Each structure stands twice: as C-alpha cells, then as structure tokens.
Chains A and B, each alone.
Chain A
C-alpha cells in the first residue's frame, strides 16, 4: 500500500467521519482513496473548491463534534493556514495532513521537508501550536494518523501529520490495528441544543483584550501539559555514540542507513529520530548531549530543525547540518561522507 493510502485507511478506521480535500501532487491519493472508501462506511467525502474551503469545512465538521480530516501538500497548506488558526483558536480537534513538496512558491513536486517551520512554529496567525507528527514509514503513516485523531480529541487541538512526497508515494507492507472509536458525545459541539441546555458557541473572537489574553494563557497551560505527556522519539545506537545523526521522517531513513555504514567503519554514530515535532522531544536530545560530542542534522531542507536541536541541547554541543533541498534527496553516501568528515575533524 502507498503511504498516502495507508494513512487514509487508518484515518477511516480511527473514526474519521468527514474528509474534505482538493487535488495537489503528491498527496492526491488520499483524496482518491477517501472518495472510494467514505461512501462505503457512511462517511463524508467532498472535493472542495479550494484548500481554504476544505479546511473551513473541516472546521464546521469538527465544530459539530465529528472526527474530520483534510490533506494537502505545501502550497495548499499555506492556504489552509487561515482555517488552522481558527480551529486552534476555537480549541477544536482535527487532523491536517501535509505531504510536503519543495518550495517556496509553486516550488516543485518532489519530496521535501521545507515546512518544518510552518508546522511547528507558524501554522497561522496568533499564539498557538498544533500537534505535529513525523512518520518515517508507511506503517507509521497509518499508526500516527490513528494516534493523531486520539490525541487531537484528548487535547482538543489540531494535529498535523508532516509527511513528504517520498513517504506518500512509496509502498511498504502495512498492518492495521484494531481501533476503539470514541462515542459521539462531545458536550461542547454545535449539534442543536434540543432545548435542553444553553446554546453552544464555537468562537475565536474576543473583543476585550483581557479576555483574549486569558484565553491564550489558558491554552498555553494546556500546551505545558501536552509537552509533559507527549514527546516521542526513536533512539538508535545512541548510548555510546560520539556523533548523533538526527532527522525526521524520510530523512531519518537515510540517516539510519548512513549510521549503519559508519558503524561498519568503526565510527560510533547513533540516531535520534523525533516522531513528534511539536512537542519537540527535547529530552532525548538533552540526554544524548551528556555523552555525544557532535550532532549532525539531516533534512530535505536548508536546516529548519537545527534551532530546535540547539535549544534542546542548550547549545552544549555543536550541531552540524547536511541537507538537500528543492526536492533533491540526500544520498546515504553523502550523509556517510559527512559523518566521516566530522569523525576525522572534530573527534580527537
């Protein structure tokens, strides 16, 4: 199964009732899959007139209490920013999938990781964050989609699956786990009050600055809880590693191959692969910084995650960067060469 299809199937199994999409390469398989799948399970598939409309349909569906999802690729996510901000401002749960391609502008259609900042720091206007998950395999495309729905509901916030064209398009075996779907009983949802309760209002407008401030402070208290509870990372051969190679998603696969290559040459390299990008799994990096000497960040971008690694390690160790951008995929050989160079020049 393709990564995009695995994600779509997992979403349906996780109780996604409404999917709103708009075609854009390389994520269109998600729409195509949902178009076939949703009618068969009583769900809603709708191709919207724009990415903006699609995310606002998600907003409506989420406000009425159902699990809803939209997907796009980088340029389309820019358009969705408006809706994402409203959804966050209303504390609504939903899942947004970004199968990244190269940018800025129309950019290209090949795999890229150039939306890290957008996803983790600047998903729209205003003081807010969303949960960000970075799958690294087709299996994880499925598993994290499922998890994203649960966590989004638990914390009442939007969640993004930050994937890329490589993971979306590639096929690997995948197995789907049983998923217990939640009851349809969100007490805050706009479903008609049946004359049994005061009317519900889903709103992000606060004309009094003090009220808006209070609402933002309240939301950030929630973020503190999320940061404590949710920070996922895979650590591979890190315990005795001098060089920690790190990268998320598809880049981590290449980094892992390079780490194996380095170990075969006797270089003590290890890998940290963040699975949640917001919250950033600072703990794994802080721990590794106690023993490792150098970090090497590998991305399909100009180095958007470097700052977070520096913060997580309190700048105790140098953080080097190697990346290819614009849709060019770094090769294992290129990353291995970087590891060798660091081993030679920076390790005594």
Chain B
C-alpha cells in the first residue's frame, strides 16, 4: 500500500496561506511532478509578487524572486543562459495578466521553453481583495464595490484563449483545484507542461482556477461552490493548445 507523504521537493515547513486557499494544493502538485520526473536538482523556479511571493520558502528547488509581473522575463534570462535546466514560473492573475501582460505574451510568442503555472482566483489576494484582470462581471471587490461593471472596468481576460492564438504557445490548458477529479487532471496537465519543456517544444501554461475564501468573504466550501458555478462557466476547463497532439 502506498503511503501518502510530502513530496521531497516540497520543504517541510508550514505555509502561510489562508485556510481553504488552493495555493497549497497547487504547490504540492508541482512538487509531485518534479519528484516523479526526478528533476529537483535541475529545476529553477521563479516566484511572483502576490500571495505566493514567498514560495521560495516552500519549493525545495533553486528559486528566484521576480518583480511584479516580470517572472516570464526572469525565467527567459535563466532558460537562455541555462537551457538544460527546467524553468517554471508560479504567478497569480494580477501578476501575469495585468502588470505582466507584456512579459507573458512575449514569452509565449517567442516560444520560450518555460512552463508557467498560472493561478486564477479572480482577485488580488495579498493586497486585500482588489479587482483583478480576471474578476468576473458583477463581482464585488474592494475596488469594484458595486460589482465589476464592464462598461467602466472592462471585461475579464481569458488567458488560455488569448495565448492559444500565438504560434509560440506549445501547450495551454485550464484546470481547476476544486474536486479530487479536477485536481488529478490538474496534476496531469502540470506534468504535461514540464514534459513539453523537457522535449524542447516551447512555451507551456497551465491555468489553475483557484479560490480565495478570505477575500471572497466565503467559507472554503462556499468558495469551492463558487468556483464550480461561477468561474468554470466563464472560464471553461480544457486544453486550448497542444502542439504535441497536432500532427
């Protein structure tokens, strides 16, 4: 019988994430994939600015802390100078799809051989719950107190759809961290992303729909329910681009 244990590449420390937050799950999935592929010693990770800013305390691989939004550029610098290393970024929606849009789009269009783990929870978590580029229409946040009105605040960005139009994107999949089935699928997707990188096939992004019970003002259970009933309809799960399947 297999005993469920902490992945080796996930450091044995307690995390600072709020109760019910899905960051911990996704951290674990990334580390399980790193362990299973046996690449811990050859991986360099890039942290963003946001709730996962201190991920370097959790991931046991060499880690670099980037400025807000710049993780794909930092990852490019690492990958270009050390092409034989696995390089991934771990970024939230404000980091990746607002301040770092240019870095994200251009890393993708260059076909930069890196893997991005993208946490979409429709809100800025660390700064206390402001509107993110992915905040849904009508969603109440600190900076959309009457609900996001697309007429003044614009529409949410669908990142996987956007990036899948770029030739340089090799793999783009949206997954969710709400149910055991979805979490298993998320892990498979993350593994796929790293394999695409291993095979030098180009840019891969795994978007993980996540929760933020604290800033959504919900219990963890309610938050999971919201993810299912409100987020997935707007952000459909699935593979948006897979050059390994195109023959």
List chain A positions with a Cβ less than 8 A from chain B.
Answer: 17-18, 20, 44, 46, 48-50, 52-54, 56-66, 68, 82-83, 86, 90, 190-196, 199-205, 207
Q: Does B46 contact A (CB under 8 A)?
A: yes
Q: What CA separation (Å) do A63 and B54 show in the bound complex?
A: 17
From B53, B70, B74, contact of A205 by CB (8 A): B53
Q: Which residue of B lies closest to A203 (CB)?
A: B65
From B41, B53, B63, B78, contact of A61 by CB (8 A): B78
A192, B41: Cβ atoms closer than 8 Å: yes
Q: What CA separation (Å) do A54 and B70 show in the bound complex?
A: 10
B106, A53: Cβ atoms closer than 8 Å: yes
Interface residues of B in 107-154 (CB under 8 A from A): none
A192, B61: Cβ atoms closer than 8 Å: yes
CB distance from B72 to the nearest CB of A (A): 8
Q: Does B81 contact A (CB under 8 A)?
A: yes
CB distance from B11 to the nearest CB of A (A): 8
- Bitwise, B34-51 to A at CB < 8 A (1) or not (0) is 000000111110100000
Q: Does B239 contact A (CB under 8 A)?
A: no
Total A-B pairs in contact (CB under 8 Å)?
A: 137
A59, B53: Cβ atoms closer than 8 Å: no
Q: Which residue of B lies closest to A89 (CB)?
A: B65
Given pairs A62-B77, A90-B65, A199-B59, 12 additional interface contacts (CB within 8 A)? A18-B77, A46-B80, A52-B102, A56-B66, A60-B64, A60-B76, A63-B74, A86-B66, A191-B62, A192-B43, A192-B85, A200-B63
Chain B residues within an 8 Å CB radius of A64: 44, 77-78, 81-82, 85
10 example contacts (A-B, Cβ-Cβ < 8 A) are as follows A44-B81, A49-B106, A59-B67, A60-B46, A60-B76, A61-B78, A64-B77, A199-B62, A200-B62, A207-B54
B77, A52: Cβ atoms closer than 8 Å: no
With A82-B67, A201-B56 known as contacts, the answer to whether A53 contacts B73 (CB < 8 A) is: yes
Contact size range, B: 35 or more
From A50, A56, A66, contact of B74 by CB (8 A): A56
From A18, A56, A62, A65, contact of B67 by CB (8 A): A56
From B63, B73, B78, B81, contact of A17 by CB (8 A): B81
- Bitwise, B9-48 to A at CB < 8 A (1) or not (0) is 0010000000000000000000000000000111110100
CB distance from B155 to the nearest CB of A (A): 24
With A52-B70, A199-B63 known as contacts, the answer to whether A18 contacts B103 (CB < 8 A) is: no
Chain B residues within an 8 Å CB radius of A56: 66-67, 70, 73-74, 77, 103
Q: What CA separation (Å) do A191 and B86 show in the bound complex?
A: 9
Q: Does B168 contact A (CB under 8 A)?
A: no
Q: Does B75 contact A (CB under 8 A)?
A: yes
